[in-house]
């Protein structure tokens, strides 16, 4: 058996197209473009690439992009003051502070300062609480994108056994909440889990969000399981190559022979994250204008 490939790249492209249409409809009704502000502190090269890509895709979808690049030595007070200004700015519907922040800054305090109505990353305590309570709110992009892929692949998830490997605030915990809300029986595994292969083997759905290259082996999987590989790991470069290969947390080559469906890395969950960020920004824009969000 060879697993079906879950094409996150194609799904993300169609999601961006939908967002583009909604953005046009929003502009016609609100008399302004929906706006996403991205804040980057310091010179981290990976973060610079992400921020540039987010800005480009925001504009391509017909939204306004506001980029704020601050020096590495920006103070906590200056960053909080910027978040406050963006919270108060009616042209800004979504605020994303690119993480990680330089070590001298209090990341939690900065994130908590973002207005929950503009929290397109879904990381404020209010958004986290709303997700846990089942109230409408903004949900972290990577797990929401992963859920969209799962529902597209499987339809109803009700009653399925799901194992989420990883318990981060950004991916693992919100992923588990989303699966629970879909009536899955959810297990959250982490670095202290005993007999991880046995735990994974009972899952109809496996979401790997660990950050360890090719850790999940084919022998851990229940035949036919649906596997969502969130991990993005760069291997050391081969001799003569400039960059190493990107791989996920799942040993894709062997898992493909056992799983029913699987996301590749790259081209699986990765492209979904920014597409969902754009969708979250638009949802925030509609709500901020008191308009009903079209389905």
Active site residue ranges: 54, 98, 121
**Position 191 contacts ligand NDP (CB under 6 A):** yes
- With a CB cutoff of 8 Å and minimum separation 6, the contacts of 59 are 65
Instruction: Pick the piece of the chain touching ligand NDP (CB under 6 A) from 42-50, 55-63, 153-161, 163-171.
Output: 163-171
Q: State the number of binding residues for ligand NDP (CB under 6 A).
A: 25
Is 146 annotated for ligand binding? no
**Position 232 contacts ligand NDP (CB under 6 A):** yes
Is 267 annotated for ligand binding? no
Q: Which of 6, 105, 165, 284 binds ligand NDP (CB under 6 A)?
A: 165
Is 167 annotated for ligand binding? yes
Q: How far apart are CA 208 and CA 200, in angstroms?
A: 10
Instruction: Pick the piece of the chain touching ligand NDP (CB under 6 A) from 21-29, 91-99, 153-161, 226-234.
Output: 226-234
Q: How far apart are CA 89 and CA 67, in angstroms?
A: 14
**Position 171 contacts ligand NDP (CB under 6 A):** yes
**Position 96 contacts ligand NDP (CB under 6 A):** no
Is 42 annotated for ligand binding? no
Instruction: Pick the piece of the chain touching ligand NDP (CB under 6 A) from 23-31, 64-72, 190-198, 286-294.
Output: 190-198
**Binding region for NADP(+):** 166-168, 232
Q: For binding to ligand NDP (CB under 6 A), which residues are involved?
A: 142, 165-168, 170-172, 189-193, 196, 209-212, 230-233, 269-270, 273
């Amino acid at each position: 058996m060879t697993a079906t490939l879950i094409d996150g790249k194609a799904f993300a492209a169609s999601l961006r197209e939908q967002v583009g249409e909604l953005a046009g409809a929003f502009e016609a009704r609100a008399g302004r473009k929906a706006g996403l502000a991205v804040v980057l502190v310091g010179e981290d090269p990976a973060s610079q690439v992400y921020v540039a890509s987010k800005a480009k895709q925001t504009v391509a979808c017909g939204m306004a992009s506001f980029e704020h690049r601050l020096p590495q030595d920006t103070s906590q007070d200056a960053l909080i003051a910027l978040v406050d200004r963006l919270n108060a700015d009616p042209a800004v519907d979504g605020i994303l502070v690119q993480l990680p922040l330089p070590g001298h800054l209090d990341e939690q305090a900065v994130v908590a300062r973002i207005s929950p109505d503009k929290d397109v990353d879904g990381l404020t305590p209010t958004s986290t609480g709303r997700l846990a309570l089942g109230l409408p709110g903004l949900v972290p992009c990577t797990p929401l994108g992963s859920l969209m892929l799962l529902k597209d692949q499987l339809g109803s998830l009700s009653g399925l056994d799901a194992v989420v490997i990883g318990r981060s605030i950004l991916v693992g915990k919100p992923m588990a909440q989303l699966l629970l809300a879909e009536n899955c029986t959810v297990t959250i595994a982490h670095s202290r889990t005993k007999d991880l292969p046995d735990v994974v083997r009972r899952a109809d759905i496996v979401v790997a969000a660990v950050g360890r290259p090719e850790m999940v082996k084919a022998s851990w999987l229940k035949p036919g399981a649906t596997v969502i590989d969130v991990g993005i790991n760069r291997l050391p470069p081969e001799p003569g190559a400039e960059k190493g290969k990107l791989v996920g947390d799942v040993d894709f080559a062997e898992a493909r022979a056992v799983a029913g469906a699987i996301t590749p890395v790259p081209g699986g969950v990765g492209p979904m994250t920014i597409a969902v960020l754009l969708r979250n920004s638009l949802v925030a824009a509609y709500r901020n204008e008191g308009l009903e969000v079209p389905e």
